[in-house]
């Protein structure tokens, strides 16, 4: 499998732990208590003196215990393990939550361990610190007596997350927060939320090539596998097929077997200056994933030649497919380039693109007379069958999108191809 020509550089993430030990609530309580104490001493109010002194004593005890215990927990190494594969909008049930473990330590009374994950989420492979990245901050507390917990880490869209996880010792009143344990960095590929549609049918002989199977042993005259389009009916083993309720084909080890090579173009071209453009790209990735997965489930002998603006891949089996899906999450929108040299050939072409691809009409023109099946994602939010991205989902999942994302919208693209499948995606509050 070929690797992309221009790998995305890993951004530098610097997320510092809190430097103070007082929380905003704790600092406010301390200031108010001191003011009350000074006022009560000036007015000689015994009731206020006792109340403020007791509260200051409580703060002192909690602070002393917290500092003492946090020093003992400096070597604590809790780890966070995201689910694999991690998918956008997967929910926050136990199966899809991030596992936090390694808390097999004793915690003082009135204290709890809290685990935080903070970093940059980069939808569509954007660069950290730019207008296309958004900050992420989520946390969870470890129940008393437990050695593990679950972190509700989820994302509304596909991309790459670079985050740091670190632990804090906090009191149950919310006055103090002490640093403890060793921070751990993770880079997580977030796959796009799946899409579904009608069953895909293609010409099984498109781009077919011959592949000769070598005999495994002299005593083996043939082997059997599930029937595939193009197999001869006389080779079907009807007795075996009746037993398992599926068509089984008898294939000689010396026979030539047809292998279909499918040529796919994923045109991730456009200007990633708006959230709508990134969302259209996300839905194009979802459609491509559904296309590849569906065809491989139908016929495992298919070989896919996938070409993108960042490189090319040859997908022969499920391992290649999983590896490609992981790299697909980080493919960004890129400037349009000349592709005349790479579309020369014969056979059907399957093209996935979005309304951001202003070079698509020229691409379809130079690809003539090859048959083209186009899967196009258009911007729309008023029709019934449309994939909606809600901005509120970012904030509910601990993500803070940049206001610059909402400056521009994408216009619909008018193109024609031999066969077209049109899909729609939009954004709402």
| Domain enclosing residue 241, as ranges | 214-254
**DSSP state for residue 7 in the 8-state scheme:** P
Distance CA 106, CA 111 (A): 10
Q: Could you tell me the pTM of the whole model?
A: 0.76
Residue 8 counted as domain residue: no
**DSSP state for residue 406 in the 8-state scheme:** G
114 and 235 share one domain: no
**DSSP state for residue 385 in the 8-state scheme:** S
pLDDT value of position 95: 60
Residue 197 counted as domain residue: no
pLDDT value of position 340: 56
- Note the Cα 52 to chain centre separation in Å: 51
**DSSP state for residue 204 in the 8-state scheme:** T
265 and 384 share one domain: yes
31 and 169 share one domain: yes
Q: Give kind and range of the element (H or E) at residue 423.
A: strand 419-428
pLDDT value of position 167: 93
Residue 138 CB neighbours (<10 A): 19
53 and 153 share one domain: yes
Residue 18 counted as domain residue: no
86 and 151 share one domain: yes
239 and 264 share one domain: no
125 and 109 share one domain: yes
The low-confidence residues of the chain, meaning pLDDT below 70, are 1-20, 92-96, 125-132, 203-223, 228-234, 251-259, 338-346, 407
pLDDT value of position 64: 93
Cis peptide before 369 (omega within 30 of 0): yes
157 and 247 share one domain: no
Q: Which residues pair with 163 in a beta bridge?
A: 119, 186
Distance CA 326, CA 189 (A): 6
Q: With contact defined as beta carbons under 8 Å apart, do 285 and 328 qualify? A: yes
pLDDT value of position 386: 87
302 and 390 share one domain: yes
Residue 9 counted as domain residue: no
Residue 399 counted as domain residue: yes
Strand runs labelled E in 213-328? 222-226, 248-252, 256-266, 303-308, 312-315
381 and 286 share one domain: yes
297 and 373 share one domain: yes
Q: How many domains does the chain have?
A: 3
List the structure tokens of 193. Answer: 């939320």
Residue 231 counted as domain residue: yes
373 CB contacts (<8 Å, ≥6 apart)? Answer: 202, 348, 349, 350, 351, 417, 418, 419, 420, 421
Residue 11 counted as domain residue: no
167 and 292 share one domain: no
Residue 74 counted as domain residue: yes
Residue where one domain finishes, among candidates 201, 224, 254: 254
pLDDT value of position 321: 93
């Amino acid at each position: 499998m070929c690797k992309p020509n221009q790998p995305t550089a890993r951004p530098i993430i610097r997320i510092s732990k809190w430097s103070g030990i007082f929380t905003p609530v704790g600092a406010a309580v301390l200031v108010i208590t001191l003011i009350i104490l000074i006022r009560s001493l000036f007015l000689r109010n015994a009731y206020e003196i006792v109340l403020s002194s007791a509260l200051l004593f409580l703060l002192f005890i909690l602070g002393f215990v917290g500092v003492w215990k946090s020093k003992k927990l400096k070597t604590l190494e809790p780890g966070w393990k995201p689910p694999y594969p991690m998918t956008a909008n997967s929910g926050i049930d136990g199966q899809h939550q991030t596992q936090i473990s390694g808390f097999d330590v004793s915690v003082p009374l009135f204290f709890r361990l809290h685990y935080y994950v903070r970093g940059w989420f980069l939808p569509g492979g954007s660069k950290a610190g730019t207008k296309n990245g958004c900050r992420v901050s989520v946390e969870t507390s470890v129940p008393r007596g437990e050695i593990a917990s679950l972190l509700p880490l989820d994302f509304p869209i596909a991309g790459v997350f670079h985050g740091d996880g670190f632990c804090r010792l906090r009191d149950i009143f919310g006055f103090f927060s002490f640093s403890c344990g060793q921070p751990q960095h993770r880079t997580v590929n977030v796959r796009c939320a799946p899409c579904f549609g009608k069953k895909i049918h293609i010409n099984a002989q498109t781009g077919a090539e011959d592949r000769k199977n070598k005999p495994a042993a002299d005593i083996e005259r043939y082997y059997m596998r599930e029937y595939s389009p193009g197999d001869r009916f006389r080779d079907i083993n009807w007795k075996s097929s009746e037993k398992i309720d599926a068509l089984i084909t008898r294939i000689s080890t010396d026979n030539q077997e047809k292998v279909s090579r499918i040529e796919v173009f994923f045109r991730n071209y456009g200007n990633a200056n708006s959230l709508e453009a990134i969302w259209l790209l996300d839905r194009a990735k979802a459609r491509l994933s559904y296309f590849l997965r569906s065809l491989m489930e139908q016929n495992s002998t298919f070989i896919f030649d996938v070409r993108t603006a960042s490189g090319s891949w040859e997908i022969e089996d499920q391992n290649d497919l999983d590896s490609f899906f992981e790299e697909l999450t980080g493919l960004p929108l890129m400037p349009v380039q000349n592709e005349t040299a790479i579309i020369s050939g014969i056979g059907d072409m399957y093209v996935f693109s979005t309304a951001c691809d202003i070079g698509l009409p020229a691409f379809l023109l130079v690809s003539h007379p090859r048959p083209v099946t186009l899967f196009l994602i258009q911007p729309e939010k008023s029709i019934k069958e449309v994939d909606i991205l809600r901005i509120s989902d970012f904030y509910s999942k601990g993500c803070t999108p940049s206001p610059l994302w909402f400056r521009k919208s994408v216009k619909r693209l008018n193109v024609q191809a031999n066969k077209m499948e049109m899909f729609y995606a939009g954004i709402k509050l």
